[in-house]
Amino acid sequence: MSFLKHLKTAALAATLSVAGLQFAHADGNEQFFPLQSYRVGPYAAGGTGFFGGFIDYLNLVNTRDGGVGGVKLTWEEGETQYEVERGVEVYERLKQRPGIATWNPLSVGIAYALIDRVTADKVPLLTINHGRTDTTDGRVFKYIFPLLLNPYSETSGIVNYIAGKEGGTDKLKGKKIVVLYHGSPYGKETIPVYELLAKKYGFTLQQIEVPHPGNEQQSQWLTIRRVKPDYVVLRGWGVMNPVALKTAQKTGFPVDHIVGNVWSNSEEDVIPAGDAAKGYVAITTVAAGAQYPVLQDITKVVYGAGKGNLQDTKRIGSVYHNLGVLNGILNVEAIRIAQAKFGKRTLTGDEIRWGLENLKIDEARAAALGAKGLFHSINVTWDNHEGDGRVAFQQWDGSKWNVVSDWIAPDWKLLRPIIEKSSLTYAKEKNVKVRKSIDD
Amino acid sequence: MSAVALPRTLPAWTWPLAVLVIAFGVVPFVASGYVFDALLIPFLALSLAAVGLNLLTGYAGQLSLGTAAFMAVGAFAAYNFNLRVEGLPLLVSIGLAGLAATAVGLVFGLPSLRLRGFYLAVSTLAAQFFVQWALTKFSWFSNDNASGVIDAPSLEVAGIVFDTPVGRYIFSLSIVTVLTLLAWRLVRTQTGHHFIAVRDNELAARVIGVPVLRTKLLAFAVSSFIVGVAGVLWGFVYLRTVEPAGFNLDRSFQILFIVIIGGLATIRGAFFGAALIVVFPLLLSRVGSFLFGGWFDSGVLDMSQRIVLGALIIFFLAVEPQGLVALWDRARKRLAPA
């Protein structure tokens, strides 16, 4: 009987919510995070780590500080499996909730599909470390924020790192670099900028696609073996990365000459590759490890209270988890900054956009947040939505990542004109007004 | 007993008319943005694709696994016509996109003159691989966008902009209605009977004078046109962004399953099947997260929904191999007064 009753309530609830009559239960002092997460499918490892870290940080802020300025942070997840149409469905479903702060899909495909939607709804869309490069130009993309690192800065950072190992950019002349990229919008995003850098520095370049999801790479590595490059840049995602490292070992390519990009830099990429990954180097905007004070707080306060999101606590402090935490920090700081101007209450998406466009975290503030060494700094402005973030390189020693470089700057000056050219083309194609100031 | 004798059978067009009246006259006023943007619009686009495939597979008996490729051709063709021909009305670019899909469909329909059944299905796979490869390889198709993703233009017809959820719904509904009516009409003509004759027995059809080759190619042409337009709806109206990878083999299978589950060789079946495949998983996920959301994470819930949906499909097909349409008709007969 009680089960039937339960079922009846459920059926009623489902009908009501499908009809769009959401149970709005924000009490006016909440800031809501709709999470388009993915915990199943080929990219589940990234999804569970990132969204786990994000939720852990929101939980920490709620439990330790009682929210941001007294405003509680709330969230709800919708499973997307990293598929665009499911991401869109979750967007349409969760956007009806009051007090939405920002969208953080962690998927280039979903982000692309949301650009028009968030712009119409005036809510920021964050694509930390990834996204569409020209959204860096805040004059055209008012609500899109590729925070810390866009694909072009990443490319420039990687080429600068290789140059450093060779003894300067002038030594790149005549070197051979192969870029092995994932066959998706994300993977293809950097093709032109590698070509540009190859022309500028005079290295020979070959870019080879690995079809999604990347389980099969024999023929690609046979080509690499024939080409005999000095470096292979791995622009992978998910299962493609360990397969690449293992296949490299089989074909006899030295692993320390493979440089991973920012989505090929996690424990989940190297542990499945076993020995084959020892000595592999990858770029990052967030250091791995649980020794940073903010991670210590999460372990103590959140996991101590049994509210941690990761099922496997060994993953606390892993790259994806730390990136999720960092994403939480950036979101929360933007809200804090916006609250200072608009008041300590539930803010609108547009007010949080203002907060993001004034998001400045220098090294001192990073240290105050318990994130010294976890990441370097960020400085977002209304026309630069990436925000001058710095990158580091880390090497896998078989059991953990070690940072092996300083925090270095990509060549922003070189990239900005290309970004503006692309964003202005977009503005023309879509009839978007180019902003003149933050209030525009 | 002196009950007024109602006519036992209503005219065939009563039901479709009633559905249309509700779809145009009632739904726009009662449904929410979520229902339009996340349920009805993808439902309409996939239904239309299934109507197209049903003409080819259900009526003419030509098994195809290239549906998503023809959708991709439609979407990318419409984008390029719209982008490159100044001042071309949107509806014209959609029509031209359908014709582009028709042309590609005809090329990949040619093997059907020699191949049948599974062999044909495998040869249509070539369309699936070739189209995705071509769209990725030649960046011209995506206006040299580095990631190969294109953005949809705004939906404007004769000065009216359909950019609200209701507007987009009406826009898709009108296109789907017109094309579905044409398909419905087509299967009732001589040509439609030719389709069925070719499906049921090619040799016999040839003997009674059906032009088999022409009929097969015509089926490919009409089907690809409709599927191409469905691709435009999927890309321009639903997702509003398109990448070639979005039209992969999974999508082809999805539409084939819609046709099989809904009922082969029925126009209604396409809509029934699409409803089950699009709407039902969402309903399950909402009920699931309401009932069990506190106990399991969303990943576990999602996997269990797949199991439930799979089991349901097996159950439906075991109970009624002719698809949901036959199930529906039987239920109606049983409920109707004897």
* pLDDT tens-digit map of B109-135: 888 888 888 888 888 888 888 998 888
* Interface contact flag, A20 B33, Cβ < 8 Å: yes
For residues B318 and B76, the model is more confident at B76
| pLDDT band per the 50, 70, 90 thresholds, residue B7 | low
Which range (A168-182, A249-263, B20-34, B176-190) has the least confidence? B20-34
| pLDDT band per the 50, 70, 90 thresholds, residue B337 | low
A424/A383 Cα distance (integer angstroms): 13
Give contacts of A39 with chain B, Cβ < 8 Å.
Answer: 297-300, 302
A305/A299 Cα distance (integer angstroms): 9
Instruction: Measure CA B71 to chain center.
Output: 10
pLDDT in tens, B192-243: 999 999 999 888 988 998 898 899 999 999 999 999 999 999 999 998 888 8
* Interface contact flag, B146 A10, Cβ < 8 Å: no
Torsion angle, alpha carbons of B189, B190, B196, B198, to 10: -150
Give contacts of B143 with chain A, Cβ < 8 Å.
Answer: 429
* Interface contact flag, A20 B31, Cβ < 8 Å: yes
| pLDDT band per the 50, 70, 90 thresholds, residue B162 | confident
A48 touching B, CB under 8 A?
Answer: yes
Token output for A89 = 């469905």
Position A325 scores a pLDDT of 96
CA-based nearest distance A52→chain B, Å: 11
Q: 3-state DSSP call for residue A179? A: strand
* Interface contact flag, A184 B299, Cβ < 8 Å: no
Q: Is the pLDDT of residue B296 over 70?
A: no
B285 touching A, CB under 8 A?
Answer: yes
Size of interface A-B (CB pairs under 8 A): 121
pTM of the model: 0.85
Residues in Cβ contact with B113 at an 8 Å cutoff, skipping those fewer than 6 apart: B213, B216, B217
* Interface contact flag, B301 A79, Cβ < 8 Å: yes
Position A115 scores a pLDDT of 92
* From A88, A108, A190, residue closest to B239, measured CB to CB: A88
Residues 110-169 of A with CB under 8 A from B: 112-113, 115-117, 132-133
Amino acid type, A117: R
B251/B239 Cα distance (integer angstroms): 14
> Which of A304, A266, A309 minimizes the C-alpha distance to A285?
A266
A252/A246 Cα distance (integer angstroms): 10
List the Cα angle B191/B193/B196 in 5-degree steps: 115
Cβ A287 vs Cβ A233: under 8 Å? no
DSSP secondary structure letters along B114-143? T--HHHHHHHHHHHHHHHHHHHHH-GGGGT
Answer whether the bond into residue A185 is a cis peptide, omega within 30°: no
**Percent helix, strand and coil across chain B, each rounded to 5?**
75, 0, 20
B51/B273 Cα distance (integer angstroms): 10
* Interface contact flag, A88 B238, Cβ < 8 Å: yes
Residues 221-240 of B with CB under 8 A from A: 238-240
> Which of A127, A156, A64 minimizes the C-alpha distance to A370?
A64
State the 10-residue block means of pLDDT for chain A, 440 residues long: 47 46 56 94 87 96 94 93 89 92 93 92 94 92 94 93 91 94 86 92 94 88 93 92 94 94 93 93 94 95 93 93 96 96 94 96 94 93 92 93 91 91 88 90
Amino acid type, B239: L
* From A81, A188, A430, residue closest to B146, measured CB to CB: A188
Residues 95-134 of B with CB under 8 A from A: none
Mutation target for A interface from B34, B139, B156: give the one with most A CBs within 10 A.
B34
Cα distances from A278 to residues A269, A274, A351, B27, in angstroms, run 12, 8, 46, 60
* CB neighbourhood size of B28 (10 A): 16
Query: Rg (Cα) of chain B, in Å, rounded?
Result: 21
* From A20, A44, A88, residue closest to B32, measured CB to CB: A20
Give contacts of A115 with chain B, Cβ < 8 Å.
Answer: 151, 241
Sequence-ordered alpha helix ranges (H) in A95-239: 108-121, 151-166, 185-188, 191-201, 218-227
B81/A68 Cα distance (integer angstroms): 50
Residues in Cβ contact with A148 at an 8 Å cutoff, skipping those fewer than 6 apart: A128, A129, A285, A326, A330, A375, A378, A386, A387, A389
Q: Which phi-psi region, left, alpha or beta, contains residue A265 (left: φ > 0; alpha: ψ -120 to 50)?
A: alpha
Cβ A404 vs Cβ A394: under 8 Å? yes
A100/B113 Cα distance (integer angstroms): 57
| pLDDT band per the 50, 70, 90 thresholds, residue B6 | low
Position A287 scores a pLDDT of 92
- Determine phi and psi for A180, rounding to 5 degrees: -100, 110
* Interface contact flag, B146 A189, Cβ < 8 Å: yes
A323/A315 Cα distance (integer angstroms): 12
B329 touching A, CB under 8 A?
Answer: no
Give contacts of A418 with chain B, Cβ < 8 Å.
Answer: none
* Interface contact flag, B83 A429, Cβ < 8 Å: yes
> A264: burial class by Cβ within 10 Å (0-12, 13-18, 19+)?
buried
Residue indicated by tokens 């960092």: A326
Cα distances from B55 to residues A238, B66, B179, B210, B246, in angstroms, run 39, 14, 12, 17, 23
> Which of B185, B206, B221 minimizes the C-alpha distance to B100?
B221
For residues A21 and B42, the model is more confident at B42
DSSP label at A286?
Answer: S
DSSP secondary structure letters along A366-428? HHHTT-BTTB--EE--SSBSS----BEEEEE-SSSEEE-S--B---HHHHHHHHHHHHHHHHH
Residue indicated by tokens 């966008």: B145
Q: Which phi-psi region, left, alpha or beta, contains residue A180 (left: φ > 0; alpha: ψ -120 to 50)?
A: beta
pLDDT in tens, B245-254: 888 888 999 9
Give contacts of A95 with chain B, Cβ < 8 Å.
Answer: 34
B146 touching A, CB under 8 A?
Answer: yes
CA-based nearest distance B83→chain A, Å: 8
